[in-house]
Amino acid sequence: MQNQCERLLIIAQKLIATGLNKGTAGNASVRCQENGHDGFLVTPSGMAVEDMNAASMVKMQFDGSYEAGKIPSSEWRFHRDILASRADINAIIHTHSMFATTLACLHKDIPPFHYMIAVVGGDTIRCAPYALFGSQALSDNALAALSDRKACLLANHGMIALGRDLDDALAVTIEAENLCEQYWRAMQIGEPNILSEAEMREVFQQFKGYGKWAVS
Ligand SMILES: [Zn+2]
C-alpha cells in the first residue's frame, strides 16, 4: 500500500503530466496522521518534480515547524492555514495553470456561466485579492475566498483547489481549470449567459448523492 508521501509524489507528477503545472511552479499538501505525525506533508521548495522522490516530501507541524534538512514550499502558510481551519479538507493543490491564472490576472470572480461550477461548492469561483507569494496576507486572502468553496483564484498568481483527499483535490483542480478555459473562450466571442440563482439551486439539488461530485 502506498503511504502519504508516495501519494503526494504521484499527484505532483500528475500535475506536470497534465500540464496543470510547469517547471517548479505549484505545490501540494496532504493531512498526515501516520506514524505519530499529527500534521501535514507538503511538496519541497524549488525542486523540479522529476528530481523528487517520496522522501523529498516535507513533514510539517501546524505550528510551522518542519523536519530538519528539508525546505517546504514557500506557500506552506496557506496549506497550513487551510488544513487547520477546514476539517472537511485533507488535501490541497496549488497551480499556476494557464486559464485560471489568466483570469486571476483580471481579478475576475468566475460567475455561474456553466452548471459544473457547483463542483467547487458554490455558484462562483472567487478571486482572492493580490498579496505577495509566501506571505501571511496571501494565506489570509485565500482562506476568505475559499469560505464555503473548494477552489479560488489568487490575483496575479494562480489558483488553489481543495479536496477530501488528494484524488478529490486533483479532480477539483482539473474541473476548475476547465471552467476557466470555457469561460475565457466564451468571452472571446460574446458575453456568456449566467445561470440564475433558481437554476443553480436545482443543480445543487441534482448533485446531492451524485457520485464523486456529491455535495452535502
Ligand atoms: Zn504559486
For the stretch 131-146, pLDDT in tens is 999 999 999 999 999 9
The reported pLDDT for the residue numbered 25 is 87
Dihedral (C-alpha) 118, 124, 128, 134: value to the nearest 10 degrees?
10
Which residue from 25, 24, 28, 15 is spatially nearest to 165, judged by alpha carbons? 28
Residue 165 phi/psi, 5-degree rounding, is: -150, 180
Which residue from 162, 2, 20, 156 is spatially nearest to 87, judged by alpha carbons? 162
- Integer Cα distance of 120 and 130 in angstroms: 21
Q: How far is the CA of 121 from the centre of ligand 1 (A)?
A: 22
Q: How far is the CA of 7 from the centre of ligand 1 (A)?
A: 21
CA angle 216, 121, 76 (to 5 degrees): 110
| pLDDT beyond 60 at 156 | yes
Provide the pLDDT confidence category of residue 215 given band limits of 50, 70 and 90: low
Q: What is the mean pLDDT of the chain?
A: 94
Mean pLDDT of 82-94: 97
Q: How far is the CA of 188 from the centre of ligand 1 (A)?
A: 26
Q: Which triple of cell numbers denotes residue 110?
A: 468566475
CA angle 80, 46, 84 (to 5 degrees): 5
Q: How far is the CA of 67 from the centre of ligand 1 (A)?
A: 22
Q: How far is the CA of 81 from the centre of ligand 1 (A)?
A: 16
Q: Is pLDDT larger for residue 214 or for residue 166?
A: 166
The reported pLDDT for the residue numbered 148 is 96
Three-class SS state of 82: helix
Alpha helix locations (H) across 33-92? 76-85
State what percent of residues in the chain have pLDDT above 70.
96
| Superfamily of the domain at 4-210 | Class II aldolase/adducin N-terminal domain (3.40.225.10)
The reported pLDDT for the residue numbered 168 is 96
- Integer Cα distance of 8 and 215 in angstroms: 25
> In the Cβ-directed half-sphere of 150, how many Cα atoms lie within 13 Å?
30
Q: How far is the CA of 6 from the centre of ligand 1 (A)?
A: 22
Which listed residue (75, 177, 199, 202) is catalytic? Answer: 75
The total number of residues shown for the chain amounts to 216
* Catalytic residue status for 34: no
